[in-house]
Amino acid sequence: MNLALELTGVTKSYGRRKALDGLNLRVPAGSLFGLVGSNGAGKTTAMSVVSGIVQPDGGVVDLLESGAFDPVRHAGRVTVLPQDALLPRESRVREILGFYAELQGVPPADIGPMVGRLLQTVHLADRADSAIRTLSHGMARRVTLVQAFLGDPDLVLLDEPMSGLDPREAQNARHFLASRRAGQTVVISSHNLHEIERMCDRVAVVEKGRTLLQDTMDGITGRRHVIRYRLMPASWDLAKLEARLPDMILERSPSGDALECRYRGDLATVNAVILGFLLESKVGVLQVYPGDELEHAYLNSTGVPVQPGA
Amino acid sequence: MMPWWKQTWIVARHELSDAVRSRRAAVMMVLYVAGAVTSINGFINVLQKLELQIAQTLGVEALSSAGAVTDTLWKSRPFRNMLMSLVGDRSVAMDLLSIPPIALIYGWVAFTFVPMLVMLVTPARVAEEIGSGAVRFVVPRCTRSAWCAGKVAGQSALVILALILSVAGAWTVARLRLPGMDGWAVAQAMMMLAGKTWIYAFAFVGLAVGIAQFHRSPNQATALGFIAWMVLGIVGIMCHFYAGPGIRQIWLVIELIIPQGHRMDLWRMDGAYLLSGCAFLASLGMCYAAVGYAYFSRRDV
C-alpha cells in the first residue's frame, strides 16, 4: 500500500504539556482520511507538524514517501488549511490566491483560470476582487479552503474545514471534497463525527497525543458485522428473535426503540430474518443502517460506554 | 523546483502591494511626506523672515522671493570657514556646501525621520502576519529564509516609495515658494540624498524585520522596534563622546555595528567613504534580519 503520509512515534510538547505523545498514523495514498479526537487531543498539532508549521520534538514524519516536510521539495505537492489562521486583511481574494499559487509554482498562465474555477466552486466568483476584510467569516473560510486546492496538490491537510460554514456551503464543500481527483489524498481533522463519517473512507481516533485506533470507516464502524434498527416504541419479545438467530448477539434499548445485531455471515439474510420478525410482531421500522455510528465507535474507543439507541 | 531568489521576489512583490494598502503604512507614509514638505515650507518661511529682517536692517527693499541671500551666504568665504570649524572636517564641510541648502534640509529631515517611519510600519506588518497566522499559508509554499528576505525587500521597496513621494512633495513646495531655485540641481541633490537615506533605512528595515520575527503581537513588535532605535541612537551618541585611545577604542568597534555610526559616511561625496558606508549599512541590515531569522527558522508559527 502506497502511503501519502506516515507518522511514527511523533512527539511534541508545549512547555510541560505533551501535545503529541508518540503519535502513529498511516494514511494511504488517494484516501479521504478523517482525524478525530476531543479538544486538545493533538489533531491540530499533528496537522501543523506534517505541514512544517510546527517542529516536532521527536519521531519520524514521512510525506509522499519523500521524507519530512520540506518547503522546496514539497512545494505545490502538500498544502494545508490551518485551523485558526487568518488571511491578510487588506489583500484581495483573487490576488492572495494568485500569490499562493505563484509561490507554489503554478505556471502564471494557469493561475487566473484556476483561481476563477475554484472560486466558482465555492460560490465566491462574485467576490474575487473584494478585500478579505470585507468578507464574512464563512466566506473567508471558503477562501482558505480554496487555497488548499491550488495547483492540485497530492496531499491536502484540512483542519476543521467546515467550521463557520452554513449548512448549504458545508454540503457544497462536502461535494467538492468528494469530487477530488483520483489519487489525491485529503486528511480532514474535525470534531464533527457525523461529517467525517459521511465523507471519509478511513479514520483515526487520536486522544492525548496518541492514536487510539485507525482503520477503514467500515472497519471502525463495524459496517460488515453490525446492523442497527430504529423502531417505533412497542413491546415485543427479544427471546423469540434470538431463537431465530442463535449465533448472533442481539441488544435492545431499554425503551424498545432501538435494536442492534452483531452478526456473522450474509447481511441480506440476517436483515431479512430480523425485518420479517419485526413485521410479524407489528413493530414499526423507522430506519435500518449497517454498522455503528462513528460517534459510538469513537466513544467506545475512548472508554465511554454507549447504550443501544443512545 | 523554484529557485530561492524567485520565491523572495514573489514574496517581496506581494509584500509591497499589500503594505501600500495597509492603513498603518499609508498613514505613516503620508506623515513622512507631510513632514518633509512641512519642513521645507518652514525652512523657506524662516528664510523669508530672515531676509526681510536683513533687508530692514540694511534699509534696502526686501526681495519678493526667499533664498537669494542664503545662496549668497552659502557661497561666502566666512560662512564656509564657520561651517568647517563646526563640522570639524574640511572635506565633509565642503561636501555639504556643494549641496543646495534646500536639498540639505530635505536630506536632514529624511535621514532623521526615516528610522521612525520604518519602526512604525515594518515590525507591525511582519509580526501581524505571524500573529494572525497568515504566515501559515505561506510557510508550506516557500522557504522561511525566502519569506524573511522577501519581507526585507518588500519593506525596503516601501521606503523607496515613501522617499520618492517625499522628494516630489518637497521639491514641488520648494519650486512654488522659490521661483528662482535651480530646479534641476535641487531635484538631483534631493534624489541623491533620498538614495542615501534609503541605504541608511535598509539597516533599520533589517533591524525591524529581525525584531518582528521574535513576536506575534504587532504592538509589542513596534514598541520593541522603537526602543531598539532609541537605544541605538543613545549608543551612537555615547560612541561619539567616549571613543578614544586605549580601552575606549571599544566605542569605535561598537560604532561599527550600529547604523548611526555610518551615517556621516553617507553625507560625504568621496566614493570610498560612500561605498564603505553603503556596504556596512547593507550588511548591518542583513545581519539584523538574520539574527531574527535564526530564531524564526526554528520557531513554531
Do residues A84 and A187 both lie within one domain?
A: yes
- The CATH number linked to A175 is 3.40.50.300
CB contact under 8 A, B137 and A95: no
> Tell me: the pLDDT tens digits for A263-284?
888 888 999 999 999 999 999 9
DSSP state of B258: S
β-bridge pairing A185-190 and A155-159: parallel
Mean pLDDT score, B41-57: 83
Q: Three cell numbers at B153? A: 525587500
B277 pLDDT higher than 80? yes
Specify the pLDDT at position B52.
81
Reported as a single tens digit per residue, the pLDDT across B138-190 is 999 999 999 999 999 999 999 999 999 999 999 999 999 888 888 899 999 99
Of B11, B132, B140, the CB nearest to A52: B140
Q: Cβ of B2 and A105 within 8 Å?
A: yes
Residues A115 and A259 in one domain: no
Q: What is the mean pLDDT of residues B33-59?
A: 86
Of A168, A188, A220, the one marking the end of a domain is A220
Label residue B88 by pLDDT band (50, 70, 90): low
The tally of domains found in chain A comes to 2
A86 to B133: CB separation less than 8 angstroms, yes or no: yes
| Whether residue A246 sits in one domain with residue A211 | no
User: CA of B298 to nearest chain A CA: how many angstroms apart?
Assistant: 7
Q: Give chain B's mean pLDDT.
A: 90
Q: Which residue of B has its CA nearest to A79?
A: B140
Alpha carbons B187 and B166: distance in angstroms, whole number: 12
Size of interface A-B (CB pairs under 8 A): 86
Q: Are residues A87 and A173 in the same domain?
A: yes
Closest residue of chain B to A73, computed from CA coordinates: B1
Instruction: Give the pLDDT confidence score for residue B63 in this predicted structure.
Output: 62
Pick the last residue of a domain from A183, A204, A220: A220
**Nearest residue, CB atoms, B136 vs list A53, A71, A90:** A53
pLDDT band of B205, cuts 50, 70, 90: very high
Judged against a pLDDT cut of 80, whether residue B13 lies above it is answered with yes
Q: Are residues A230 and A195 located together in one domain of the fold?
A: no
Q: Do B1 and A73 touch (CB under 8 A)?
A: yes
- Say if B141 is an interface residue toward chain A (CB within 8 Å): yes
Per-residue pLDDT at A72: 84
Cβ separation A104–B301 shorter than 8 A: no
Q: Which of A99, A146, A150 to mutate to test the interface with B (most CBs of B within 10 A)?
A: A99
The pairing of strands A17-28 and A3-14 is antiparallel
A18 and A31 belong to one structural domain: yes
Asked if the structure places residue A214 within a domain, the reply is: yes
Q: CA B297 → CA A56, A156, A267, B56, B84, distances in Å?
A: 13, 23, 56, 67, 49
DSSP B178: -
Position A246 scores a pLDDT of 87
* Domain contains A302: no
Burial of A280 (0-12, 13-18, 19+ CB in 10 A): exposed
Encode pLDDT of A79-125 as tens digits. Answer: 999 988 999 998 999 999 999 999 999 999 999 999 999 999 999 99
- Residue B118's alpha-carbon distances to B152, B160, B209, in angstroms, are 11, 11, 10
Using the Cβ of B132 and the Cβ atoms of chain A, whether some distance falls under 8 Å is answered with yes
Question: Which of the two residues, B135 and A266, has the higher pLDDT score?
Answer: B135
- Cβ contact, residue pair B1, A48, below 8 Å: no
In-domain check, residue A196: yes
Instruction: Indicate whether A301 belongs to any domain.
Output: no
Cα–Cα distance, B40 to B189 (Å, whole number): 14
**Could you tell me if B118 and B152 are in contact, meaning their C-beta atoms sit under 8 angstroms apart?**
no
Report the residue from A54, A89, A147 with minimal CB separation from B137.
Answer: A147
Q: How far is CA A306 from CA A218, A290, A293, in A?
A: 19, 17, 11
Look up the ipTM and state it. Answer: 0.87
In angstroms, the separation between the Cα of residue A197 and the nearest Cα of chain B is 27
Domain that holds residue A252: 224-291
- The CATH number covering residue A244 comes to 3.30.70.2470
How many angstroms away from the CA of A53 is the closest CA of chain B? 6
Please give the average per-residue pLDDT across B206-215, as a whole number. Answer: 96
Same domain, A104 and A48: yes
Residue A235 in grid coordinates: 413491546
B180 to chain A nearest CA, in Å?
44
Q: Give the chain B residue whose CA is nearest to the CA of A51.
A: B140
Verify that A194 and A252 share a domain, yes or no.
no
Candidate from A74-88, B49-63, B141-155, B205-219 with smallest mean pLDDT: B49-63
Q: Specify the pLDDT at position A91.
A: 93
Residue A307 lies in a domain: no
Give the pLDDT of residue A297. 79
Please check whether residue A71 is in contact with residue B141, taking contact to mean a CB–CB distance below 8 angstroms. yes
Confidence of residue B279 (pLDDT cuts 50, 70, 90): very high
Question: Would an 8 Å CB–CB cutoff place B216 in contact with chain A?
Answer: no
CB proximity A234 to B under 8 Å: no
SS3 B243: coil
Q: At what angle do helices B23-58 and B144-177 cross, to 10 degrees?
A: 30
Please check the confidence at residue B62 and state whether its pLDDT lies above 70.
no
pLDDT, mean of each 10-residue run, chain A (310 residues): 93 94 95 92 94 94 94 89 92 96 94 96 95 94 95 94 90 88 90 87 93 89 85 87 89 87 88 92 90 80 63
Judged by CB atoms closer than 8 Å, whether chains meet at B141 and A76 is answered as yes
pLDDT tens-digit map of B258-269: 999 998 889 888
Per-residue pLDDT, B160: 97
